[in-house]
């Protein structure tokens, strides 16, 4: 009997285990990362778990996460799809993982997660790390054209030259730069026009190169144009000096820069005549007008304004050059005149009075008072 009950117990345990196993979600299969040759956009795909439950019983979803190795955060996507094209930094290892999420009648309404499956990918490394170009910088001028510049790598053989290639969602293939900036016959930069289709998307860029017999390490990067925008300086800066305050008005720069995407910094300086004017921060704002109160007006002699992309349109951007105007000189002269005129006037009036008194005294002394000189 003891044996029988032990048997029963083991059977029960086995059943419980099996039941809970059938409740657990099975992991997806065959996670793969492949490179379609688009300089950073990789295809990630997987197969559904082997034992998919009946559709009317449970919904199968996936939690897909990916990152370039070294990133602290994974990017997370909840999906029912089995394939994604997502952006990675090809100079690092691409990492992806996916798990099944099961929910419905088959799980009594609670969400059940499977184990993760993982995959990694990296492009075959060519050339030595020190041969990669350095100081790669890009600026998106007026939302009209992009300039990127670089310097040759530290360990670059003679006769090396560079090429810049790019791709964004909307182009069929990778495109090479057609307007290089050169220094002593070597490509050290590129100017790209007509990129409006690439705004607010990932623009994948690769700068690679070759020397006679050596391969150079390519540089891969992903640009976001709206974060690289540099507007032209604000236009038509006008200072109006009113009785109570100084009114500063300007216009947004022309060109393709969206006026609603700009913010401005205003600075004022007391002495623009000095070699090093002491510029003091006044305001950062989106409006194109500012009133500086009279208390400060007497000190302000110059005002300058610059613009950049505001936080509603981008995470970051570059400041434009300054636009500057001064008003103080005429105001100071006016003030001096206003002080001088009363002084001169009162001086001359006193002089005239003194002279008249002197004349009257002379006349009375001469004993010949005249009619009509009662004014004395
Ligand atoms: C700009 O690019 C579009 C396609 O994105 C193309 O149709 C158009 O001709 C290009 N314009 C110039 C001036 O290159
Ligand atoms: C540079 O990259 C482009 C785009 O991937 C490729 O077509 C080209 O062959 C590469 N050049 C060298 C020298 O590696
Ligand atoms: C005006 O002066 C006050 C104090 O002197 C200072 O706190 C304020 O920032 C100044 N404002 C401007 C617009 O210069």
Render pLDDT for 245-279 as a digit per residue (tens, 0 to 9).
788 999 999 889 999 999 999 998 876 455 566 78
pLDDT of 255: 84
Q: Is residue 98 part of a domain?
A: yes
Would the CB of 208 count as within 6 Å of ligand 2?
Answer: yes
User: Exposure string (b/e) for 253-281, b if CB count within 10 Å is 16 or more?
Assistant: beeebeeebbbbbbbbbbebeeeebebee
In this structure, are 182 and 249 located in the same domain?
Answer: no
Distance CA 248, CA 241 (A): 9
The verdict on residue 15 lying in a domain is no
pLDDT confidence of residue 221: 93
Residues 6+ apart with CB under 8 A from 64: 44, 76, 77, 78, 79, 84, 96, 97, 98
Q: Can you tell me which residue has the tokens 């690092």?
A: 92
Closest residue (by CA) to atom 6 of ligand 3? 296
Question: Is 315 within the bounds of a domain?
Answer: yes
Asked, for residue 373, whether it belongs to a domain, the answer is no
| 221 in Cβ contact with 205 (< 8 Å) | yes
Structural domain ending residue among the three candidates 172, 197, 229: 229
**Total tally of structural domains belonging to the chain:** 4
**Residues 111 and 55 grouped into a single domain:** yes
Evaluate: CB of 292 within 6 angstroms of ligand 3: yes
Q: Is 214 in the pocket of ligand 2 (CB under 6 A)?
A: no
Query: Terminus-to-terminus CA distance in the chain, angstroms?
Result: 148
Q: Ligand 2 centroid to 201 CA: how many Å? A: 23
Question: How is 88-140 classified by DSSP, letter by letter?
Answer: --TTS-EEEEEEEEEEEGGGTTS-EE---EEEEE-PPP-S-GGGS-EEEEEEE
What's the whole-number average pLDDT of the chain?
Answer: 83
Residue 214 sits in the same domain as residue 142:
yes
Show which of 61, 86, 121 is a domain's final residue: 121
C-alpha 241 – ligand 2 centre gap (Å):
60
**Beta carbon of 268 within 6 Å of any ligand 3 atom:** yes
Residue 326: name the closest of 274, 262, 259, 252 by CA.
274
Q: 343 lies in which domain range? A: 336-364
Nearest to 73 by CA among 85, 81, 61, 65: 65
Counting ligands in written order, the one closest to the CA of 297 is 3
Q: What span, in angstroms and rounded, lies between the C-alpha atoms of 225 and 314? A: 9
Ligand with minimal distance to 175 CA: 2
Q: Based on the fold, state whether residues 260 and 307 are members of the same structural domain.
A: yes
By the 10 Å C-beta count (0-12 exposed, 13-18 middle, 19+ buried), 212 is classed as exposed
What pLDDT was estimated at residue 330?
A: 47
DSSP state of 37: S
Kindly report the CATH number assigned to the domain that includes residue 305: 2.60.40.10
Report how far residue 160's alpha carbon sits from residue 216's, in angstroms, rounded to the nearest whole number. Answer: 8
CA atoms within 13 A on the CB side of 272: 14
- Does residue 216 lie within any of the structural domains? yes
Ligand 3 close to Cβ of residue 296 (< 6 A):
yes
Which residue, among 290, 305, 306, has the nearest Cα to 245 in the 3D structure?
Answer: 290
Task: Give CA separation, 290 vs 272, 294, 335, in Å.
Answer: 20, 13, 24
- Ligand 1, atom 3, lies closest to the CA of 194
Q: Both 49 and 27 in a single domain?
A: yes
225 with 235, same domain: the answer is no
Residues 209 and 252 in one domain: no
Domain match, 304 and 254 both: yes
What is the separation of C-alpha 264 from the centre of its chain, rounded to a whole number of angstroms? 14
Distance from the CA of 242 to the center of ligand 2, in angstroms?
A: 63
DSSP character for 315?
A: S
Give the Cβ contact number of residue 313 at 10 Å.
17
Ligand with the closest atom to the CA of 212: 2
For ligand 3, say whether the CB of 291 is within 6 Å of any of its atoms.
Answer: no
State the pLDDT at residue 231: 95
Domain boundary among 175, 203, 229: 229
247 Cβ contact list (under 8 Å, min separation 6): 239, 240, 241, 289, 290, 291
Low-confidence stretches of the chain (pLDDT beneath 50): 12, 14-22, 272, 329-334, 368-376
Minimal-distance CA residue to ligand 3 atom 1: 296
Q: Strand runs (DSSP E) across 271-340, as ranges?
A: 279-285, 289-293, 302-309, 323-326
Q: Is 109 left (phi over 0), alpha (psi -120 to 50) or beta?
A: left
pLDDT single digits (tens) 340-370: 555 566 767 777 777 777 776 666 655 544 4
In a domain, 60, yes or no: yes
Q: Which ligand is nearest to the CA of 174?
A: 2
35 lies in the same domain as 116: yes
Same domain flag for 206 and 250: no
- Ligand 1, atom nearest to 193 Cα: 14
69 and 154 assigned to the same domain: no
The answer as to whether 79 is a domain residue is yes
User: How long a stretch of residues is the chain?
Assistant: 376
The owner of tokens 């909307």 is 170
Whether residues 261 and 242 fall in one domain = yes
The pTM score is 0.72
């Amino acid at each position: 009997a003891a044996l029988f009950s032990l048997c029963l117990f083991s059977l029960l345990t086995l059943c419980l285990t099996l039941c809970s196993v059938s409740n657990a979600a099975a992991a997806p299969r065959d996670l793969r990362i492949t490179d379609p040759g688009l300089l950073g956009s990789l295809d990630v795909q997987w197969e559904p778990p082997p034992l998919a439950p009946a559709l009317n019983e449970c919904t199968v979803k996936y939690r897909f996460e990916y990152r370039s190795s070294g990133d602290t955060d994974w990017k997370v996507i909840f999906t029912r799809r089995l394939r994604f094209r997502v952006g990675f930094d090809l100079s690092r290892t691409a990492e992806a993982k996916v798990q099944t999420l099961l929910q419905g009648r088959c799980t009594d309404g609670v969400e059940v997660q499977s184990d993760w499956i993982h995959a990694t990918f990296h492009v075959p490394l060519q050339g030595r790390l020190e041969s990669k170009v350095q100081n790669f910088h890009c600026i998106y001028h007026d939302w009209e054209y992009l300039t990127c510049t670089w310097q040759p790598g530290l360990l670059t053989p003679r006769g090396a030259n560079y090429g810049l290639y790019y791709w964004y969602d909307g182009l069929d293939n990778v495109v090479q730069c057609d307007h290089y900036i050169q220094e002593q016959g070597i490509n050290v930069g590129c100017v790209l026009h007509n990129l409006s289709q690439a705004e607010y998307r990932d623009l994948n860029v690769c700068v690679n190169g070759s020397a006679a017999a050596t391969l150079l390490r390519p540089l891969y990067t992903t640009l976001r144009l709206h974060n690289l925008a540099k507007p032209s300086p604000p236009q038509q800066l006008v200072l109006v000096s009113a009785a109570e305050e100084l009114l500063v008005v300007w216009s947004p720069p022309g060109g393709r820069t969206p006026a609603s995407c700009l913010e401005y910094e205003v600075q004022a300086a007391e002495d623009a005549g000095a070699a090093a004017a002491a510029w003091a921060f006044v305001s950062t704002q989106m409006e194109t007008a500012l009133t500086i109160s009279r208390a400060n007006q007497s000190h302000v002699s110059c005002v300058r304004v610059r613009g950049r992309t505001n936080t509603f349109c981008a995470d970051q951007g570059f400041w434009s050059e300054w636009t500057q105007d001064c008003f103080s000189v005429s105001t100071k002269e006016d003030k001096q005149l206003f002080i001088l005129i009363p002084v001169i006037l009162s001086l001359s009036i006193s002089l005239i009075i003194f002279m008249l008194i002197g004349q009257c005294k002379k006349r009375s002394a001469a004993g010949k008072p005249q009619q009509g000189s009662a004014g004395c």
